[in-house]
Amino acid sequence: METPDAGLEQARQKLTELRQILLTLHKALLDSERTAYELVHGAVPSAGAFLQLLINDPWFAWLQPVTTLLVQIDETLAAKKPPASTPDFERLIADTRALLSPSRETNGFWKRYSGAVQRDPGVSLLHARMEEQFQK
């Protein structure tokens, strides 16, 4: 029989593994969107200029839910007082699954995300890794 601490540790481990893949996926999405942006607008001159685009340009706004989710996961994993039960970890896993699954939401995330998955083999591979992680 599994102890509550073991269940909590398993949920933490699953969220940690999911976070690592999501972080890599986030980076791939940023790179892919930067390339698409540069094809239309020309080269972004520096990392600082790219950061400003990420913060201020509507082109990149659709990526905000992934960024926000990563921050929530990091805060949960780094909390000085860890959750007493698995629901916090499980909620973040479910939120990640929901975000990266087909939806009818109106903010356009899924449309942009699925477009990136279709056009960029690296993003597609990482999306498949996320799907595998959800099955564990």
pLDDT tens-digit series, residues 3-54: 657 778 888 899 999 999 999 999 999 999 999 999 999 999 999 999 999 9
> The whole model's pTM is what?
0.89
Give the amino acid at 48: G
The single residue listed with the structure tokens 């001159």 is: 45
Domain definitions of the chain by residue range = 4-135
Residue burial 42-68, b: 16+ Cβ < 10 Å; e: rest: eeeeeeeebeebbeeeebbebbebbee
Contact status, residue 117 vs residue 123, Cβ threshold 8 Å: yes
Structure tokens at 104: 């009818």
Sign of CA dihedral 22, 76, 57, 112: positive
Please tell me the distance from the alpha carbon of residue 118 to that of residue 130, in angstroms, as a whole number.
15
The pLDDT value recorded for residue 25 is 98
